[in-house]
Amino acid sequence: MLFPTVAFAVFFVVVFAANWVLRPHERAWRWFMLGASLYFYGYWDVRFVGLILFSIIANWLFGEAVRGALAPDGTKTSASRSLVGTAVAVNLGILGFFKYYGFFAESLLALGDRFGIGMSPPLLDVILPVGISFFTFQAMSYVIDIGRGEIRTMPLLDFGVFLSFFPQLVAGPIVRASEFGPQLADRPDPRHVRMPEAFRLIFRGLFKKVVIASFLGTNIVDPVYANPSEYSALENLLATYAYAIQIYADFSGYTDIAIGCALLIGFRFPQNFDQPYRSLSIQDFWRRWHMTLSRWLRDYLYIPLGGNRGTTGFVYRNLFLTMLLGGLWHGAAWTFVMWGALHGSYLVAERAIKARWEPRGHPAELVRVGQWLLTFHLVCFAWIFFRAETFTQATDVIGQILLGGGTGPLVTGLVVLTVIGALAVQFTPPDLARRAERALASTPLGVYAVGVALAFVVIDALGPEGVAPFIYFQF
């Protein structure tokens, strides 16, 4: 069930009304929200419901077992560590089977063919469940945090609501039990719902997805990346810039809608994007892009690997491995591994350069512009591998940018204006949205309702027929 559809609109109206009617009745509300979330998830394929139910029950049992294995003072024991390790292995095993089985089997066949070794691993037609990476990471963080003594276990029904909660179920943000659990115990007043903020986020998300992402994908990104050699250097370059905007508009659009919908039913999710294309370094980019994944990788992968502890070489290794595995998390293809390796290399190089060089003797503003230009283009270069379906396609795009000539019909004024405008918005003052919300809060209800209706009409008029799935659904 896609957000920008009539089906979701009807579903959400029913859930919104039932949510506030049932909220005073805690148990009934929990059962309803679990049922609604499972219906939302099963709308794509009812077989997926069994998988998420298994994940709920298995990880809840692991959490209970880990809690029971902790020392009386809540510290780790060898038994609790073993249980946490088993839970992580089970979760990664399920994720690996559904998401990576075909990738590794085909890679093994290719490797055997290269060395003349006949291999015949069974090639299974495995359907990738929508959003499996997101709810698997949430489940693992729950068990790991219990093992660290950072959170208490949740009742089974509460954990089921947490892991299946529909607004962020299929594409984030990655919400932790420590962020969601306390809100389950609250009894929010429907009169104090942050409606101006919620509707601002929802409409902003819809505009990003339905208008910006769809327009750029249809008019330049998809045709160029389908056959890069048929298009000019300028078309390939503009398509790469356009994809940077498209994936941001698509993914941040989803999380805007998810956060807005959650606000309307009394829950606040963590922020997931913070104007990432204004970053002046790759490290800053990862503090602003997919922020909940960045924190997850830091807390559950980078720090356990050793983090900033140890020699410089070990720190560089930890950075590189974290980003390499982060790339593989995004998709079962060597292009995603390359994307992660590039970002790992960027972070290592950036840290090495900063340790030896200070930009003295140059105007501060000129340095900042140079840092922004370099960061943005490094990110865009990596996006080529993220978007390309094969290495050949990626190298074709790079080759055409470097060696191709001409302009081409896809370089239109509207495409250029959309890319430039979307980049310019990244530099708007952070408090502009808060000022807009305060203005909306004082708007008369009738005017507010007309404004909401007009916003829907404008988005529908500017958007294409039909809505493509969100890019991050495949992850």
Indicate whether 117 and 179 sit together in one domain. yes
Indicate whether 214 and 121 sit together in one domain. no
Which residue type is seen at 234? L
Distance CA 318, CA 344 (A): 9
pTM above 0.75, yes or no: yes
Tell me which range, 225-234, 351-360, 442-451, is most confidently predicted by mean pLDDT: 225-234
pLDDT at 414 (0 to 100): 93
Indicate whether 282 and 139 sit together in one domain. no
Known catalytic residue at 330:
yes
Percent of the chain predicted with pLDDT > 70: 84
Q: Which range (145-159, 313-327, 398-412) has the least confidence?
A: 398-412
pLDDT at 118 (0 to 100): 59
Would residue 10 count as lying in a domain? no
Distance CA 329, CA 467 (A): 25
pLDDT at 162 (0 to 100): 95
Indicate whether 172 and 112 sit together in one domain. yes
Tell me which range, 162-171, 316-325, 401-410, is most confidently predicted by mean pLDDT: 316-325
Would residue 394 count as lying in a domain? yes
Last residue of a domain, one of 187, 207, 238: 187
pLDDT at 320 (0 to 100): 95
Which residue type is seen at 288? R
Would residue 180 count as lying in a domain? yes
* Top-confidence residue, 5 or 466: 5
Number of Cβ atoms within 10 Å of the Cβ of 433: 14
pLDDT at 186 (0 to 100): 82
Would residue 407 count as lying in a domain? yes
Please list, residue by residue across 107-122, b when 16 or more beta carbons sit within 10 angstroms of its beta carbon and e when fewer do: eebeeeeeeeeeeeee
* Top-confidence residue, 445 or 221: 221
Indicate whether 136 and 273 sit together in one domain. no
Last residue of a domain, one of 133, 154, 187: 187
Closest to 308 (Cα-Cα) out of 317, 300, 296, 321: 317
Distance CA 67, CA 64 (A): 5
pLDDT at 449 (0 to 100): 64
* Top-confidence residue, 227 or 472: 227
For residue 325, give its domain range: 195-474
Indicate whether 281 and 330 sit together in one domain. yes
pLDDT band at 332 (very low <50, low <70, confident <90, very high): confident
The CA–CA distances, whole Å, from 180 to 31, 166, 325 equal: 17, 13, 26
Which residue type is seen at 17? A
> Is 344 within 8 Å of 322 (Cβ atoms)?
yes
pLDDT at 117 (0 to 100): 66
Mean pLDDT score across all residues of the chain: 86
Would residue 13 count as lying in a domain? no
Indicate whether 415 and 341 sit together in one domain. yes
pLDDT band at 439 (very low <50, low <70, confident <90, very high): low
Indicate whether 235 and 342 sit together in one domain. yes
Would residue 3 count as lying in a domain? no
Q: What is the mean pLDDT of residues 220-246?
A: 95
pLDDT at 111 (0 to 100): 58
Would residue 470 count as lying in a domain? yes
Helix, strand, or coil here: 316? helix
279 pLDDT more than 70: yes
Last residue of a domain, one of 132, 163, 187: 187
pLDDT band at 194 (very low <50, low <70, confident <90, very high): confident
Indicate whether 25 and 151 sit together in one domain. yes
pLDDT at 257 (0 to 100): 92
| Residue found under tokens 């330049």 | 220
What are the start-end ranges of the E strands in 91-194? none
Percent of the chain predicted with pLDDT > 90: 58
pLDDT band at 216 (very low <50, low <70, confident <90, very high): very high
What is the number of residues in the chain?
475
Would residue 12 count as lying in a domain? no
> Is 258 within 8 Å of 168 (Cβ atoms)?
yes
Q: How many CA atoms lie within 13 A of 6 on its CB side?
A: 2
Indicate whether 447 and 468 sit together in one domain. yes
Q: What is the mean pLDDT of residues 362-383?
A: 90
133 pLDDT more than 90: no
Residue 3 DSSP label: T
Indicate whether 131 and 268 sit together in one domain. no
| String of DSSP letters for 328-367 | HHH-SSHHHHHHHHHHHHHHHHHHHHHTT---TTS-HHHH
Distance CA 14, CA 65 (A): 37
The number of folded domains in the chain is 2
Catalytic residue, chosen from 25, 330, 343, 362, is: 330
Indicate whether 304 and 396 sit together in one domain. yes
